[in-house]
A = this chain, B = another copy of it.
Amino acid sequence: MKATILNIGDELLIGQVTNTNAARMSQMLIAVGIDVCGTYVIGDNAHDIRTYLQHCLDRSDVVLITGGLGPTKDDITKKTLCEFFGSELYENPEALANVRRIFESRGYELTPINRQQSWVPRCCTMINNVLGTAPCMWFEHQGKVIVSLPGVPFEMVNLMETEIVPRLQQHFLTDQIINKNILVQGIGESFLSDMIESWELALPSTIRLAYLPQAGMVKLRLTARGGHDDHNLLQAQIDQAVRDLYPIAGQYIVGEDMENLPELVAYTMKRYGKTLATAESCTGGQLAQQLTAMAGASEYFRGGIVAYSNEVKECALGVNHQTLLDHGAVSEQTVREMAEGVRQRLGADYAVATTGIAGPGGGTAQKPVGTVWIGIASQHRTVAKLMKFGDRRAQTIDRTCFTVWSELIKLVKEECHE
């Protein structure tokens, strides 16, 4: 079972829009056992669409196409596919009802041009796109499946999740794939690998293990693969493997089924019923933003203070004027007072703080660009740590966030461990 992905759009080709669709679609296909052997970006150009559709059909069993389905003249995917398959367009009543519903809900009049959005080739199965006006089209051709999806990412994702992936699984009776992530922290990849070697060797042949090192942690991914009807068997094997891992490496396991550190922070704070506050200088709000990007942040996140100037460090966080004079804003003393100040003022169980020189300006011989102090405060103590990052601003901010989350989780786990 192989798939190719063809993303159509001049805006992708000229780099005006970054193509995130290919990666999202690949993840979804691979998660159900369909391998992706190539992804292609081409412009809104009939010759290229025909050429690459044939190229993809020659290489794979499934071709997923996105883009070029809008109502304007430059969007020619539907017309080109219709010609390719020797079919003709007709007005699909279900698609028309959907287009009408969307226009009514926005209070717009349905013009003839927009009505044409509901036309699809007779040879395809129309799949309703409830989030947009461009219908999704499923073609079967010489034993292969070609699906044309809208290029708008959230419409594409919704159609893939609710319609296309389940239909592909059913149509091709694809393999069952079950993934399980286990997050490990506080031990290097090679030490971990030695520690769990015998467990790894004893895994059933249906399960593969991957080490996915990330900033601040290692993600272990177990992937079980079996026949179309083996779901229950595979799930039982995965469950057993996870149970067997805890006696060996349990002290380093910080979570399951999470993708990144902010998710792990949210999980940890909720699990132990603790609240959190942030005091940010060099990270400028990114710590707070990472937490609040996830739904449910209000369960544990009290709030944060972005103290970009010294005056704000004093007035909003209670950092001593003398501390700033004696040690400077980027210092262990300041970061400790920031963490302690925000914890008390916002009434949180834990607080984190950052102060540093993200650059490109502001560095000195003693404190070059990339110098960052982080602080973590609890009711019982405050931990401070000096980091030396490079001279790339965005990277310094990202790495500071990762380090803060790592250190916070470490302290919370130490203090709250059952």
Question: Which chain A residues have a beta carbon within 8 Å of chain B's beta carbons?
Answer: 12-20, 22-27, 30, 36-43, 48, 52, 154, 212, 278, 280, 283-289, 291-293, 295-298, 301-309, 311-312, 315-316, 345-347, 358-362, 392-395, 397
Residue from A23, A37, A154, A285 with most neighbouring chain B CB atoms (10 Å)? A285
Known: A14-B30, A23-B17, A36-B14. A308 touches B297 (CB 8 A): yes
- Distance, CA A23 to CA B301, complexed state (A): 36
Measured between beta carbons, the chain B residues less than 8 angstroms from A40 are 38-41
Do residues A298 and B303 form an inter-chain contact, with CB atoms below 8 A? Answer: no
Measured between beta carbons, the chain B residues less than 8 angstroms from A280 are 285, 288
Q: Which residue of B24, B42, B289, B296 contacts A361 across the interface (Cβ within 8 Å)?
A: B296
Do residues B19 and A22 form an inter-chain contact, with CB atoms below 8 A? Answer: yes
Do residues B306 and A306 form an inter-chain contact, with CB atoms below 8 A? Answer: yes
Known: A38-B41, A40-B41, A316-B316. 9 other contacts (CB 8 A): A15-B24, A18-B23, A284-B297, A285-B288, A286-B293, A288-B306, A293-B393, A298-B362, A316-B346
Do residues B308 and A306 form an inter-chain contact, with CB atoms below 8 A? Answer: no
Do residues A303 and B307 form an inter-chain contact, with CB atoms below 8 A? Answer: yes
Residue from A48, A297, A303, A397 with most neighbouring chain B CB atoms (10 Å)? A303
Q: Which residue of B lies closest to A285 (CB)?
A: B288
- Distance, CA A25 to CA B358, complexed state (A): 26
16 A-B residue pairs with CB within 8 Å: A13-B26, A13-B37, A13-B38, A14-B30, A17-B23, A18-B22, A18-B23, A38-B52, A154-B392, A278-B306, A286-B289, A288-B288, A297-B308, A301-B308, A303-B316, A311-B347
Q: Which residue of B48, B305, B346, B362 contacts A303 across the interface (Cβ within 8 Å)?
A: B305
Measured between beta carbons, the chain B residues less than 8 angstroms from A311 are 302, 346-347
Measured between beta carbons, the chain B residues less than 8 angstroms from A41 are 22, 38-40
How far in angstroms is the closest Cβ of chain B from A104? 16
